[in-house]
Structures are given as C-alpha cells and as structure tokens.
Amino acid sequence: MSAGPQASGPIALATADAVAPRRGRRGHATLVIGLILVGVVVLTALLSLVWLPYPLSDTSGGRLEGPHPAHPLGTDRLGRDLLSQLMVGARIALAVGGGAVLLAAVLGITLGLLAAFARPWLDDTLSAALDVVIAFPVLLLAMLVVAVQGASLWSAILAIGLAMSAVVARLTRILARRVLQEQYVTAARTSGAGTAGVIARHVLPNIAPTLVVSLALQFGIAVLAEASLSYLGLGAPPPNASWGRMLQEAQGTVLTAPVGAIAPGIAIVALVLGVNFLADGLRDYADPTRRRTR
C-alpha cells in the first residue's frame, strides 16, 4: 500500500523538470516578441523626431486617397498624410505612457513605503484612501483631471499618472510589509540600521522585480487611456497627432477609407500587446519559480 506514495516523488520531480524548460522557453519567446513589437514602435517614434514623409500641417494630398507610393497609407479627409500622423502618434503614445508610468512610480512607491512604515492608524487611513481611488476607473479619473487642467500633453500625463499611482502604492505597501516581516530585516534593525538603510538595502531590492513587471503592465493601460482621452478630444491638442484622434476622425469615413481607422488601431494593439508580452517575459525571469533550471 505504501508503493504509491513512494513512487509519486520521482514522478513529481520528473514532471517539474519537464515543465520548467517549457516554461522557460515560453518566457523567452514572449520576451522576444514583446521586445520586437515595442522596439518597432520606439524606432518609429525616434525616426519621427528627425524625419517625416510630410509635415502634419501639409494638406496638399487629395482627400481620402487610398494607399499609393506618394502616401503609403493614404490621406485623411483634410488631405494630410496618414503615415506622418501615425509616426507622430507613436511618439505621443510613448511620451504619455512613459511619463505617466514615471509619475505613478514616484508617487506610488513613495506612498506605499510610507504606508508600510507608518503607524497602524496612518496605514489604515492611507489604505482606505487608496482603495477609494482604485475603485474609480483610470479613464474616469483622468477625464476629471483633464477637465480641470485643460486638454494638453502634460494634462494627459498628469491625469493618467495620478490615476495609476494608487495601484502602484497599494502593491508597494503589500510587498514592503511582506519584506519587513523577514528575519534578516529584524536583524538589520536590531543591529542599528535606520529606516532609510532598510529601504535601500532590503526593501527596494526585493520588491523591484515585481514592481517592474507591474509598471510594464501599467504602461499598456496608460497607452489605452491616452488613446481614449484623445478619442474624446481630451488628449494632446492639434497639431499633435495621436492614434486616438486618428480613430475619432476616421470613424465617419471608415467604409470609404478604412485604412484611416485600421492603421492606428493596429498600432495601439501592437504596442499594448508588445508591452504585455514584455511584462509576461520579465515576470518569468523575475519569479524564481518560473525560471528555467540550468
């Protein structure tokens, strides 16, 4: 009767050894795909800084022309080149996404660490406030901020960053409190290490991998939020081109000139999908239980 349990050990180990390489290969593949998709968008944005097929204000093209050598993606209803708008839209998406994630990281990590080290009453107060903010959708909070500040590139970054900072703060608090319960942190405090030393030497190095993955996912959310704000007319104003406004302007002519809606839609999907693949690949490398055994 004891043969079954004794045999399960080698079988379990063999299964784990077989699954680990497959999981490692999957993580490597998703990371490569993510890097390719994000890299294409980044290169497009960098290229737009030094070269554009046509200025954004150039309306010399025919209205709603289809793709042809002079205009590879065609033109919009004003005769502007769609490829030029798409390239500038990549720059806007990356600028808003990167700026919003940076702002969310600074505010969120600061508030999260403050809550983790605070007295119970302050921790409860901050946690309750964060829960209230998280209960509101990111886009709704961003719309409220933009309505107060006015539509601009900075307003979009500020609005999206503030909306996402609560999620980062909550995650930071949870991770930091988990690290603070470890024995090596207790030993460091006993030996006289101050709060700043504990944060720099023990807390941040241990929570950084998870935070990086979370911030990568937040970048995708920021890109979608920026496109939504631009679609509603609350994003970066003209002459800046954004993928969301391209979709809004093309919705009335989607049947006669579908490229105007398809091109920015594919660009948004590619960037968000690439960031998610990148985050998934980073998670496989950051999580010790997902790493491939060597």
How is the chain split into domains, by residue range?
Answer: 30-52+75-290
Q: What is the pLDDT of residue 145?
A: 82
pLDDT of residue 6: 47
- Which residues lie closer than 8 Å to 270 by C-beta, 6 or more apart? 37, 40, 41
Which portions of the chain are predicted below pLDDT 50?
1-20, 289, 292-294
- 271 contact partners, CB below 8 Å, separation of at least 6: 37, 38, 41, 90, 93, 220, 223
The residue with tokens 């941040």 is: 204
Check if the beta carbon of residue 224 is closer than 8 Å to that of residue 264: no
Q: pTM value?
A: 0.83
* CATH class of the 30-52+75-290 domain in this structure: mainly alpha
What is the structure's pLDDT at 287?
A: 60
* Burial class of residue 97 (count of CB atoms within 10 Å of its CB; 0-12, 13-18, 19+): buried
What is the phi/psi pair of residue 71, to 5°?
Answer: -135, 90
CA dist list (Å): 249 to 75, 99, 231, 278: 12, 26, 8, 31
Dist CA 218 CA 160 (whole Å): 10
Chain mean position to CA 141: 17
Residue 228: Cβ within 10 Å count: 18
Predicted pLDDT of residue 18: 44
Q: pLDDT by residue (tens digit) across 1-49?
A: 444 444 444 444 344 444 445 555 666 888 899 999 999 999 999 999 9
Which token pair is 150?
A: 């006015």
Q: Is 71 helix (H, G, I), strand (E, B) or coil?
A: strand
Give helix then strand counts, H and E, for the chain: 10, 0
Q: 234 - beta bridge partners? A: none
pLDDT of residue 88: 95
Residue 19's pLDDT is what?
Answer: 45
